[in-house]
A and B are shown apart, each in its own frame.
Chain A
Amino acid sequence: MTRFTAIVLSLGVLWMTSMGSLWAAEPRYGGTYRFPLSTDPPTLDPAQITDTTSHSVASEIFNGLVRYDAQLNIVPDMAERWDLSPDKRTYTFYLKKGVKFHHGRECTAADFRDTFERVLHPSTRSPRTGFIDRLQGAKAYLQGKAPRVDGIAVVDPYTLRLTLEQPFSLFLHLLTYSSNYVIPKEIADKHGSEFTSHPVGTGPFRFVKWQHDDHIILEANKDYFKGRPYLDRLHYRILPEEVTRLEEFKAGNLEHSDIPSGQFLSVKHDPELAKRLVSYPILGTYAIRFNMEKPPFKDNQALRHALNYAIDRRAISDVILEGRVYPAKGVLPPTMPGHNPDLEGYTYDPGKAKQLLIAAGYPGGQHLPPLDLYFNTNDTHQKIAELVQAQLLELGIRIGLRSLDWAAYIKLVDDGGTVLHRMGWIADYPDPENFLTVLHHSRNVGPAGNSARYRNPKVDALLDQADVGEVWEERKRLYQEAERLIVEDAPWIYVYYYSANMLFQPSVRGLRLTGMDAELTIAPQPMALVWLAR
């Protein structure tokens, strides 16, 4: 069994169960898919995309060199194939011929060079330079010290050579990012920062119209290099309120919808809606993170353990989240490659928590300094924080709750201004590096991901070794060992693993949902595969 087989089987079973015998029907062409979005995409310029909503729409307009398949393996997209040099630094991509942009011009290797250089150019102000700056000479170009990026070579119109400063085994994952989607330079230059309103790519759907805060229309690209999509149109509707989305879905005005918080059980027990419910685990972990640089959690493992044993994860999962998530035992969610099912983690044990509090020097919570749990303003975070507050009070630990909007909150967390804060993490790519190294390596303390400000040289060494490893089994062993040490150190209170729970109309076919498909935006689901049986 491969490392992804379990995920695929579980998702397949869920989906086939929900859709029953209609699964086998023949695909049909035509129809409009009415797709809800919770917010107006901030941009459709790939170089500026940082959010899942923009990514979801852009992924239908543009293509990259590579993409994920149904098993979350990296497979060719615009590239037909690629080679990796023996020193693991140089990737040579052989591009598909005859692929055309929506305005009719053929896409060649030079377009990829122009695209990558545009992302890196200082005037673009792209927030995602980090997804391509491992190329040789990229940093110098970014700082305006070089006229070109040395690591990009156009060998011929259909051959592109990318050379990295250092070997990086996850480089292909970075190329799946929307910031690395190819765009035509002449159109980008013509519109400048207004390219977001005139996006032109090579994707299965071409941009037609965008009425901001209302809707976006894409129509099928009949000349798409993989064959025209089944759907005629994608009609994205921007509906900020989750209750409105559900009512529109019930009225048959949307092809799918998420489920408002607090309504999961009523949906589950509704005979009609229950048939349309699709649930699957996604690659995400929700936690409350300690600040490992500040007392009382600094250098007090027993206190961190006490809080981990004091939290009833099952109550959070079942009562607040209505059973739609899974209590967490560690960092890596179950569907992430490298997840360790034998990890013991922490279970609810108030007796043990009391003993650990004594060992920590705070019997019955006495003498603890004032503690505040910070979270970004959101109903679910608020309810979880209140339950955590009540559970800790049973041990005599009093905590205050502090809610801030995202912009203020993330700045405070970045600056190490909290002692306790909540944070969820959804995978950027399906590799343990994205959870363990990004969120726990000492070089990433602060805004780069390690908001718990956790430092452990042994863990750093294991992660460094695992990140450059070439043999998956060896990498897996190293990551699991690192995760064991991390969980033992307990820089987080591990709360739950995320899942996606959505409603789809019975007519929707061709879905290929994976653990990377976020709720509502269902990217990277390729909409070119979706069709409507009506």
Chain B
Amino acid sequence: MLAFVIRRLLTLIPVLVGVTLVIFSLSYISLGDPVRAMMGQRGDPEVIAQIRRDYGLDQPLHVQYARYIGRLLHGDLGRSYRQHRRVTDLMWERLPATLRLAAAAMLIAVVFGCTAGILAAIKPNSWIDRLVMVLALLGISTPVFWSAMMLILLFGSVLRWFPISGYGSGNVWYLILPAVTLGALQTGYIARMTRSSLLDVLRQDYMQTARAKGLRDIIVLCKHGLKNAAIPVVTVIGISFADLLTGAPLTEMIFAWPGIGRLMVNAVANRDFPVVMGCTLVFALVYALANLCVDLLYAYLDPRIRYDRED
């Protein structure tokens, strides 16, 4: 197992190098100039040229890339062109808000999604099943900006149960509306996946055998059904959590939530390449680690999966 983890971690290196190369190339061919964008509506051409020189933006792409990689090897993600601060600081400041929102949305999604999916699977084609599937479809297909605005209007403006927007210095009341907005989408995915996976498992012979042995339905479901149905659900949860960790720009914009998604979107709009590059690298890392965690969970959930026998 340890060898597998080390091998997977080592494969991250070419992945991250590839990511830097792609983003650097895209930044080079994309329209727009970060220094010009920074100047506002007009700028002195001499000053623009001077600042471009100072940032090394007048150098050929391979020189800029080599310098970036050189800094990266020293753990330096560079400085924002626009905010003139270290990229690591910018991301670090926003990490707690992103983690809180992602964890809360995931909690909602797992609790409600799994419960709804299980209920639908054990009562297939019943009104519960149909209701769950309709709600799951609504959760998946409702645009985030619309559901966010509806929640704000109903629970923020009319009923005044929750704050309308902001981080509230960590107050949990501020977390609920954005977490529900984000969680609704993931709840839909998880409910559908749980239902279909569990339905599949419930039709397996070993489930009939367990029942024939006289085990109670609840025991059969929990001990044999859920564990075996969990693999695809865990995959969805892992990737969903990575999605949430890498930010949810729309939700963050509407609820004025100070997360990494907004940082990334603003950086792209302003061609703030060091921030774009830093965020992309971290996002790639998050996805890779999330996938690794999912793979490791497979081994726990299914004893047939053993990574140390791969070779």
A407-B165 Cα distance, complex, nearest whole Å? 29
B84 at the interface (CB under 8 A from A): yes
Please report the total number of A residues contacting B with Cβ < 8 Å. 53
Q: Which residues of B contact A194 (CB under 8 A)?
A: 85
B33 interface residue (CB < 8 Å to A) = yes
Q: Are B83 and A42 interface neighbours, CB within 8 A?
A: yes
B157 contacts across to A, CB distance below 8 A: 247, 250-251
- B149: nearest residue on chain A (CB-CB)? A243
One of B31, B54, B164, B253 near A247 (C-beta < 8 A): B164
Say yes or no: A405 contacts B50, CB within 8 Å.
no
Interface members, chain B 81-105 (any A CB < 8 Å) = 82-85, 90, 93-94, 97
A93 and B280 alpha carbons, distance in the complex (Å)? 50
Contacting residue for A447 out of B30, B36, B90, B167, CB 8 A: B36
CB distance from B91 to the nearest CB of A (A): 11
Q: Which of B50, B169, B252 has a CB less than 8 Å from the CB of A122? A: B50
In the complex, per-residue mask of A112-124: 1 if CB is within 8 Å of any chain B CB, else 0: 0000000000100
Q: Could you say which of A45-53, A97-105, A501-509 contacts chain B?
A: A45-53
Measured between alpha carbons, how far is A45 from B83 in the docked complex, in Å? 10
Within 8 A of A (CB), among B30-50: 30-45, 47-48, 50
Please report the number of residue pairs spanning A and B whose Cβ atoms sit closer than 8 angstroms: 149
A211 touches B149 (CB 8 A): no
- Asked whether, in the complex, the Cβ of A45 is within 8 Å of the Cβ of B84, the reply is yes
B30 and A408 contact, CB distance less than 8 A: yes
In the complex the two chains form, is A407's CB within 8 Å of B37's CB?
A: yes
- Chain A nearest CB, measured from B278 CB (Å): 15
Q: Quick one: which of B34, B44, B169, B262 has the most chain A CB within 10 A?
A: B44
Interface centre among A50, A404, A407 (most CB of B within 10 A): A407
- The smallest C-beta distance from B93 to any residue of chain A, in angstroms, reads 5
Q: Is A193 a contact partner of B79 (Cβ separation < 8 A)?
A: yes
- Contact status of A407 and B34, CB under 8 A, knowing A127-B39, A193-B85, A251-B164: yes
B153 at the interface (CB under 8 A from A): yes
Interface presence of A244 (CB below 8 A): yes
Give Cα distance in the complex from A399 to B160, angstroms: 48
- Could you tell me if B84 and A237 are in contact, using CB atoms closer than 8 angstroms? no
Q: Contact: B32 with A411, CB < 8 Å? A: yes
Any chain A CB within 8 A of the CB of B210? no
Determine how close the nearest CB of chain A comes to the CB of B236; give it in whole angstroms: 29
Q: How far is the CA of A39 from the CA of B54 in the complex (A)?
A: 27
Which of A39, A247, A444 makes the CB contact (< 8 A) with B156? Answer: A247
> When the two chains form the complex, which single residue of B41, B51, B83, B262 contacts A196, counting CB atoms closer than 8 Å?
B83
| Residues 174-198 of chain A, each 1 if its beta carbon lies under 8 Å from chain B, else 0 | 0000000000000000000110110
Cα separation A214 to B96 with both chains bound (whole Å): 13
Residues of A223-282 whose CB lies within 8 A of B:
237-241, 243-244, 247-248, 250-251, 253
The smallest C-beta distance from B240 to any residue of chain A, in angstroms, reads 23
Q: Is the CB of A244 within 8 A of B43?
A: no
Q: Contact between A408 and B47 (Cβ–Cβ < 8 Å)?
A: no
Contacts of A244 in B (CB 8 A): 152, 164-165, 254-256
Cα(A178)–Cα(B34), bound, Å: 21
B44 to chain A: which residues have CB within 8 Å?
A: 129-130, 447-448
11 sample A-B contacts, Cβ–Cβ < 8 Å, listed by A number = A43-B84, A50-B39, A122-B54, A125-B51, A127-B38, A197-B85, A211-B258, A247-B164, A406-B37, A411-B31, A448-B42
B-to-A contact residues, CB < 8 Å: 30-45, 47-48, 50-51, 54-55, 79, 82-85, 90, 93-94, 97, 149, 152-153, 156-157, 160, 164-167, 169, 252-259, 262-263, 266, 269-271
A residues neighboring B (CB under 8 Å): 39-40, 42-43, 45, 48, 50-51, 122, 125, 127, 129-130, 142, 193-194, 196-197, 211-215, 237-241, 243-244, 247-248, 250-251, 253, 404-412, 414, 423, 425, 438, 444, 446-449
Q: 13 other contacts beyond A240-B256, A248-B165, A446-B45, with CB at 8 A cut-off? A: A50-B40, A125-B54, A127-B43, A213-B94, A215-B166, A237-B166, A243-B149, A243-B152, A251-B160, A407-B33, A410-B32, A438-B42, A447-B36
